Every structure is written in C-alpha cells, then in structure tokens.
Structure 1
Amino acid sequence: MLTTNDVAKCEAWFDSHGLPYFVEAGHEAIQRALVPRIVGLWAVLAVAPAVLVTVVALNLDAGVGEAVAAGLLTAAVVALGRAVRVFRVGRIGRWALAHAWENRSLIGPLATRALPFLLLFITFLFINTEVWQVSSALPRPLLWVCVGIFALLAVAFLAPSFRSEIERVGAEVEGEMLAATCVGTPVASAAREILAEPHLATEVAGIRLPPLQRRNLMLMLFIAQAIQMLSLVLIVFGFFVVFGSIAIRPSVIEAWVGSEPHYTGPFHLVSDELFSVAIFLSAFAGLYFTVQAVIDQNYRREFFTRIQDDLQRAMGVRKVYVALRAHLAADRGA
C-alpha cells in the first residue's frame, strides 16, 4: 500500500489533471464555500457594486434599461469571478486547454459539416435590416446578457449527454478495468494490490463519486467542449467582421439603423454596429454548433471516445485514492 507521501503525489496528480475536487482538502474547501451563510455574504458583495454602477449610470443620463443592464452585468462579473476562484476553474481550464489542443482535429470535421449550411442561413440574417436594428439598439451590457442567454441554453443542451456519459463510464471502472485505468498514475501498484485482496476489491467496487466530484467531471467536459465551440464561434465572428467591412458600406448601415455608424478607436475599421451584429450572430452560431455537437453522432462518438480514457482514469484513481486514505486512517487509529 502507499504511504502518506504517495497519497500527496496522487493529490498532485489530481490537480495537474483538472480534478481539484477529487482532493479531499479541495472538496472540503468547496463545501465550506457553499455554506448558505457564505453564499449569502458573497451575494451581498455582488449586489453592492451592481447597485453602485446602476446609480452612477443613471446619474450619467443613461437610460433605465441600460443602467439596469450595466448593474446586472457587474453583478454577474463579480459572481463569476468568485465562482472561478472557489470552483478552481483555472486548474480545470488548463487541463481542458491542453486536451482541446490535443484533439483539435475534431474541429475540422464538425466545421465542415456545420459551417456551410449555417453560413448560408446566417448570412441572410446578416444582411437583414431588422437584425441590424435590433443589435444596434441593444446597449452593450444587454448585448452581453443576450450572449449569456445563448451560453446558458448551450449548457442546458450539453448537460444531459455529459451526465449520461459520466454514469456510463463510471459503471465500467470495475475489476481489471480499474487496474488498467490506473497504469501510469501514482496508484498503479496500489490498484493491483487491491485487486489481489477480495475484500478490498469489493470495498473499492462500492465507491461512488459524490455529487461535487461529478460536477468536477462535468465542468471538465463543459470547458473542453466550450473551447472547441469558441474556436468555431471566432471563425464565424471573423467572417462577419471581414465580410461586413467589405460588403456593408457606411451609407448602407446608416440607411438600416437610421444614423451614421459609430466607431470606437481612431482607425474606423469596424463600426460599433457591425461589431454588435457580428457578436449577436456569432453567439447564435455557437448555440447552433452546440446543438449540432449533441445530435451529430459521429462527433459525439469521436469526442467521447477521446475523452473516455481521461474519465475512466480519473474515476479509477479516485477509487483507489479513497481506499488508500481509509487504509492509512485505519493504520493510524490502530
């Protein structure tokens, strides 16, 4: 069996593989942060600057809707910053970035299947007067709120498939599969020892992931998927910015939105109106890509096949880790 030092190596392995919730100390810290009293305190801390921003915006003669949107956006940014820190999103994100880079070849097939029809359809929206009027009339904070709504819808589409995949993979990590998944990890030898002892093997087989650690895996999948979707969204955004700069002249924008185009910055390359339309339609395209990723069986099979080994390894190592901690605790108590 492993020693306390080896358990520490195992915890370092969890951290480096985007699994901070699998470490008992990290798991307990997150649980403490989710205590209602702490959540309430941070809710107040998020609302306070939001109210301040709203009041300042109103004093600067901003419209009520624009001021409220600015306040909501401020509250969302504060809450998001807190969530990123509490839920160790940075550590998970580093792993997800590396995984997305290793599997960048998945983006090409999805893009070739989804982009042609999407661009054909969405280009007609791009040259539609009403879309320009709606996007241009949105204050910038409200525009980002709309982007956030599209993102939430995308999460809602992805969550069921991710949840079912985690449950399926977890059920497979038993017996010899447990030893196979732990190869190359700090618990490889311990996994073999556990399987050699029937009573230990039975105990390990009964270990299940608690909800918070399931969310860790869900977050891993979400971030890995989001990085791939974001790359496609940036392609669409870049296309509309370039196409709009060439094809949509300032006089046309003025005829569509009823005023001369506005520019931010000294170069006057991309108007604010074009930027708003490109952002709005790119966010819509991101939602479309997400739906396509869910219903495209070829993409789903390739995506989950490539990440399945990581999920199985995480669950296998976690089972052995829990058993080892229990074993060490029993030895100390003896």
Structure 2
Amino acid sequence: MPASAPSHEPAPVPTPAPTPASRPRAHEDHLRALGLPMMIAPSARLRDLLPRCAGFAAGLAVFGMAVAALDRSNDLAVAFLEEFGIDDDPTRPDLFAASEPIIELLALAIALAVAAPVLGWLTGKVARRVPRAAAFAVGLGSLLALVVVPVVVFSSQDGPTLGDTLLAAALVLVGTYAGVGSLVRWSARRVRRELGTMGPMVARVLPILMLAVLFLFFSAEIWQVMVALSWPRTVAVIGVMVALTVLLVGITTRDDIRHELQQWSTDTPLRPAERVNVLLVPVLATLIQAALFAALVFAFFVFLGWIAVPEATEARWTFGAGDNPDGLLLGLPFSVTLVRVALTLAAFSALNLAAAAASDPAHHTRFVRPMIDEVVRGLDAREAYRAARLRSAARGGAAPRRGDEERRRQLRQRG
C-alpha cells in the first residue's frame, strides 16, 4: 500500500488517476483535470477538436443573438425618442404601447444572455457523450452557427461582418486545441480549493504584512498621492505591481520546475508546448493565491477606512480634495480615494506574498511546494499516458512512428 501523502499537500484532484492499463482517453481526461492539456498528443487533440469546441461555440452564438437583440432595442429606443420626444403631449398615442417592442427585445436579450452559458454547457455535454460522428456534427453545427447567426440577426450597420465571425470561430478552434477550456476549468476548481484553504495562509502572512502596511495606510502622504490620481493612472500603478508579481512568480517557479525536470528521467523529452504548460500550472496556482489574498486585503482596508477614517480626517489629509463616489461606486458609504488606497495596498500585498514565496523557506515549503508536487505527478501521468498509447497502438496494429519501437522495447523490458 502506498505511503500516505504529507500533510502539507493539497487535496487530490476530483478525477481519480487512471491505472496504467486504462485506455488513452482516461489518461487524457486525467491530464486535463491536472491542468496539463498540452501533454496530450497533438493527433488526439485534433481528433477531439470539433466536439470539444461545440459548447463554447454554441454559447457564443446564443450570446451574439442576445447582443443583437439589445442592439435592436437600442435602435428602436432612439427612433422612439426621435418620433415622440420626451415632453408630455396628451394628443400622442399610448407611450407604453409604442415602447412595448423595446421592452420585449430587452427581455429577450436578458433571457438569451442567461441561456447562453447553460446552452453551451449542455451542448458540450452532448458532444462528449454521443458517438464520434454525431459529436463531429454537433461541433461543426455549433461553429457554423457562430459564423452565420451573428451576421444574420444583426440589423444595424455596426454589427459583425462575416470576417469578424470567421475570426471568432478560428480563435475558438485555436483556443480549444491549446487547451484553454481545460485550463479555465482547472483554474475554477483551483479557486474553490484555495478558498477552502485560505485560513492558514492568511493567519501566517496577514499579521506580519499588517505591521508594515497599516502604518502606510494611516499615512497622510499616500492619501494625498491617491486623491490626485485619475483612474487611468491608478490602474497603471496597480498594473505595474501586478506585472512585477507575475514576473517574480514566473522566475521563481521556473527555477523550481527546472530543478525538478533535471531530476526527472524520461526517454521522451518534453516538447516546447509541454514545457510551457508545466510552468503555467504552478504559476497560475500561485497567482490565484495572490489574487484571493489581494481581494481579502482590499476588503479589509475598505472596511477599516470606513470605520477608522472619518470624512473630517480624510479632508485634512487630502486638503479637502476628496471626491464622493460616482459611477459604479454611487451610493456606497466610502470615498473614491479610500477605494484607490485600498486597491494600491492590495496590489502591494500580492507582490509581498509573491516575494515571501520566493525568499521565505517556510512559506515556500507550506504553500509553494505542494504545487510543484502536483507538477511532478503530472509528469508521471504523462509517462503513463504515453505507455497507454503505445499499448493501444500495439493492440490496434497501427504503424509506429519514429522512436516508438525503442519505447515499446523498453516497455516490454519493464514488464
């Protein structure tokens, strides 16, 4: 019986690991569940290309119909205002009856927008469960709908052209071949998993971080800087810190992965796309941790500023230049300057977390090492997948490709 996993490792992925004798499709599903779609052979990804893109293409086609309905209701609303105006006139017809088509189109647009992801999910499920010929037909039909439907349903001149929809279909095909959908699903599962394990990280990192950041939050200088910044400049400042976080995570993770690959023995080296995929998984996992931590820090500082920095104090710090919330922030009980300060400190906290992962051995062992262990399990899953493909090819009598005979000979020697 295998030894139990160390206590610091995360929970196993939802999809159980297939046995070495399982069919290649089981190994492919396992690799996708691990967030490693590029480990799958290019021929297998081409074989499943149309069925796997069916759901997303169908959802986009329905969403295009929703946007078309919204665009049509906007055209009718403009024509309605031009014809009837906005002044009260007892002689004109019933305004509700005249505006009824606009309301119906708005309701249709909302219904289609809600139905788009549901229909896409159902189409994807159907394409994966029906026979291959039917799945191919479903995928092809979904792509044709994505190309044709938006061009047909838009009535105004600013609608998408056939070239636009063809480009959208090409992007769907390229994204499906590259495994973007599998990475998105893996990221969603990772977010749920990280939300359940945020407690230890917050208890370890947040108190130490607060010792430094709290003094900065209650400094008048940062409030004076942020009150003078426009939103584009604020986004640029946050973008610089986000870019530094991604760069730091990428460099440190690359060094860890390179060390693991040097210790990993295989007779089939990783392709460039596989190397990118192997690096991308722990980088995304670390960035998800940093993003969730930043969201928590942002909420903390907004709440702290709301209760601890009254309007009079903020006015003295900013020399009366504070601004009230408007736009999306309209009606909220805190100022725009507080939101900018909290966003900046949250981005700084994410950068600090990435630096701790790179420099603190305890933090690296507790939170980063489990992600590297997942990559190692993914490399083992790749070897099992390649062995399953060799067995399947040997049973089917397929012509071996270059290098397969040597791998088959080694496989027979192993048992």
TM over 0.5: yes
One of 269, 275, 279 as aligned partner of 1:214: 275
Of 211, 225, 229, which aligns to 1:120? 211
Which segments of 5 or more consecutive residues in structure 2 lack a partner in the other structure? 1-18, 47-170, 401-415
Moved over 6 A (4+): 26-29, 81-85
Taking a change above 3 Å as real, the CA distance of residues 163 and 84 of structure 1, as seen in their structure-2 partners, is same
- Paired with 2:272 and 2:39, the residues of 1 have a C-alpha distance of 11
Higher relative contact order (CA 8 A, sep 6+): 1
Contact in 2 for aligned 1:17/1:95 (Cα 8 Å): no
Q: How far apart in 2 are the matches of 1:282 and 1:326?
A: 50
Per the alignment, residue 7 of structure 1 pairs with 24
Contact kept in structure 2, 1:106 and 1:299, CA below 8 Å: no
RMSD between aligned residues: 3.4
With over 3 angstroms needed to count, the CA separation of the structure-2 counterparts of 1:104 and 1:121, relative to structure 1, is closer
Which residues of 2 match residues 1-334 of structure 1 at below 5 A? 6-25=23-42, 87-88=180-181, 89-101=183-195, 103-104=197-198, 106-111=200-205, 115-174=206-265, 205-255=266-316, 256=318, 258-264=320-326, 265-325=329-389, 328=392, 331-333=397-399
Q: Which has the higher Rg, Structure 1 or Structure 2?
A: 2
* Whole-angstrom CA distance in 1 between matches of 2:198 and 2:342: 24
Corresponding residue number in structure 1 for 2:108:
none
Question: Using a 3 Å threshold, how does the CA distance of structure 1 residues 109 and 210 change in structure 2: closer, same or farther?
Answer: farther
Contact 2:281 2:375 in 1 (8 A): no
- Displacement of 1:277 after TM fit? 0.9
Aligned residues: 251
Normalised TM-score (structure 2):
0.53
Q: Look up the SS of the partner of 1:332 in the other structure.
A: coil
Amino acid at match of 1:107: M
Letter in 1 for 2:29: A
CA contact (8 A) 2:325 2:332 kept: yes
Q: Distance in 1 between matches of 2:221 and 2:187?
A: 38
Report the CA distance shift for 1:261/1:304 in structure 2 as closer, same or farther (over 3 A): closer
The SS at the match of 1:220 is helix
Percent identity (aligned) = 24
What is the CA–CA distance in structure 2 between the aligned matches of 1:313 and 1:137, rounded to whole Å?
50
1:333 aligns to what SS in structure 2? coil
Output the amino acid matched with 1:143: T
> 3-state DSSP class of the match of 1:279?
helix
Q: Secondary structure at the match of 2:321?
A: coil
Asked if the contact 2:23/2:392 (under 8 Å) is kept, the reply is no
Cα 1:315–1:95 change in 2 (3 A) is farther
Deviation by residue 1:172-225 (Cα, 9 ceiling, x = unmatched): 444xxxxxxxxxxxxxxxxxxxxxxxxxxxxxx222222322222222212221
1:221 and 1:252, CA in 2 relative to 1: closer, same or farther beyond 3 A? same
When residues 106 and 308 of structure 1 are mapped into structure 2, their CA distance, relative to the original with a 3 A threshold, is: farther
